[in-house]
Amino acid sequence: MVNYKIEGMTCNHCKMTVEKIFSENGKKATADVDYEIVSVNETLTEEELEKLRNRLSEDGYTLGNVK
């Protein structure tokens, strides 16, 4: 598992939204509100990161680098 820093999640609804956005982009992810991370099974490419960052920012989340 690879963990990425994510900011803006405050509740389980946020967790579900983040996981749904990853799923819509073909990635199975598990978000953790308490640790402010999202875990995926593989390292994301720069292209994937950029696409996810743009989409997540539309909902108020900030995807960071590997934690």
pLDDT tens-digit profile of 9-23?
Answer: 999 999 999 999 999
User: How far apart (Å, rounded) are the C-alpha atoms in residues 16 and 66?
Assistant: 20
Distance CA 52, CA 46 (A): 10
> How confident is the model over 40-62, as a mean pLDDT?
97
Q: Which pLDDT score, from 0 to 100, does residue 67 have?
A: 82
pTM of the shown model: 0.95
pLDDT value at residue 52? 98
